[in-house]
Chains A and B, each alone.
Chain A
């Protein structure tokens, strides 16, 4: 029989959740408790999730996507019923005793992390600027008439100035949007703008903000919506609520 380990998805408050359903590879979710904290885990095969397996698989984007989505799915289910502190992908202990030991060791920090996110959810606000117009302009007809080269270069220069102005305006808008969101959030984080190769979105991302917002508080959504309505030329994408991934971290006590 293959060796197994405990894959940790998240820590919650004991008693607020009784994990149902399955996690990775269809294994049932198990609650491991220690002094008021619960780690939600499931059994994984160490052939796949051991050190060798992880080293091999983590370089495989398809494998990574599958595991990341499964991890996120469990965390979401837990977040829907109580405060949750998600663990980073691929946190694996050898058995439940080892999981309990981690809960004990980090008890104060985990408790503080849960307190910070309790009753709150994460919202993602992104601002994109589309380059379709610029691309259209760039696809100009090529003329062979005398002087066409100079005219072409002049046009390119004007275009580049126009583009620079547009970029500045969009950057300002991103700052404005972030300020609006921050004003209505408990905490905020600016994440790296995402690479189009991974998002598949052709626009340029100028804001990738994460905001911690009280559950049931509509003012955040309303403020962002008002901004979006006032700027019909901008593409704002709001997604949420997310489990509070960006705000559940272990901080020194």
Chain B
């Protein structure tokens, strides 16, 4: 793609997706944003937004582009209270806890199979591998 003579085949190649999994489609927003916002040449222009606010904006977009785990790793969790971004995970966790204690409650009145609930408590030590 350096020589003018190479330009025609390169131009054609740009329209060729190579994937067995998906039909050709325009690049998804996450692919584009992670590149145009996070990569490429960074030169300060004449127009600059307040740095503090840029940082906030970047964090907000990072949350959309990058993983939530990463943000938590960085100690950022204000998004939990952002109605646009917050998930129901907290709510689900609470509900799970409630259900589990309810099951245990029921189990305690059912002596025939108490061994099962005892070992299940060790589940909390398993590695959290789910994304």
B20: interface (CB < 8 Å): yes
B41 touches A113 (CB 8 A): yes
With contact pairs A150-B117, A241-B13 given, residues A248 and B66 touching in the complex (Cβ less than 8 Å) = no
The interface size of chain B toward A, counting residues with CB under 8 Å, comes to 69
Question: Cβ of A219: which chain B residues have Cβ within 8 Å of it?
Answer: none
Q: Jot down 8 A-B pairs with beta carbons below 8 A, ordered by A.
A: A8-B45, A49-B47, A76-B14, A119-B2, A146-B110, A146-B113, A199-B30, A239-B17
Question: Cβ of B120: which chain A residues have Cβ within 8 Å of it?
Answer: 153-154, 156-157
- Main secondary structure on A side of the interface with B: mixed
With contact pairs A16-B4, A89-B36, A199-B30 given, residues A50 and B47 touching in the complex (Cβ less than 8 Å) = yes
B67: interface (CB < 8 Å): yes
Proximity bits, B11-41, A CB within 8 Å = 1, else 0: 1011001111110000111111111110111
A82: interface (CB < 8 Å): yes
A86: interface (CB < 8 Å): yes
A11 to chain B, nearest CB (A): 7
With contact pairs A164-B127, A198-B64, A228-B20 given, residues A248 and B41 touching in the complex (Cβ less than 8 Å) = yes
Question: Cβ of A240: which chain B residues have Cβ within 8 Å of it?
Answer: 17-18
With contact pairs A150-B113, A153-B117, A153-B120 given, residues A235 and B21 touching in the complex (Cβ less than 8 Å) = yes
Interchain CB contact (< 8 A) of A250 among B4, B11, B43, B48: B43
The interface size of chain A toward B, counting residues with CB under 8 Å, comes to 92
In the bound assembly, the distance between CA atoms of A72 and B42 in angstroms comes to 15
Interchain CB contact (< 8 A) of B49 among A10, A54, A64, A94: A54
B37 touches A154 (CB 8 A): no
B123 touches A118 (CB 8 A): no
Binds B, one of A28-36, A175-183, A189-197: A189-197
In the bound assembly, the distance between CA atoms of A120 and B17 in angstroms comes to 16
Interchain CB contact (< 8 A) of A163 among B50, B68, B116, B130: B130
B116 touches A150 (CB 8 A): yes
A55 touches B68 (CB 8 A): no
Interface residues of A in 72-102 (CB under 8 A from B): 72, 76, 79-83, 85-94, 98, 102
Question: Cβ of A83: which chain B residues have Cβ within 8 Å of it?
Answer: 1-2
In the bound assembly, the distance between CA atoms of A199 and B30 in angstroms comes to 6
Interchain CB contact (< 8 A) of A149 among B27, B30, B117: B117
In the bound assembly, the distance between CA atoms of A82 and B63 in angstroms comes to 33
Interchain CB contact (< 8 A) of A58 among B22, B48, B57: B57
With contact pairs A68-B29, A94-B46 given, residues A150 and B115 touching in the complex (Cβ less than 8 Å) = yes
Question: Cβ of A163: which chain B residues have Cβ within 8 Å of it?
Answer: 129-130
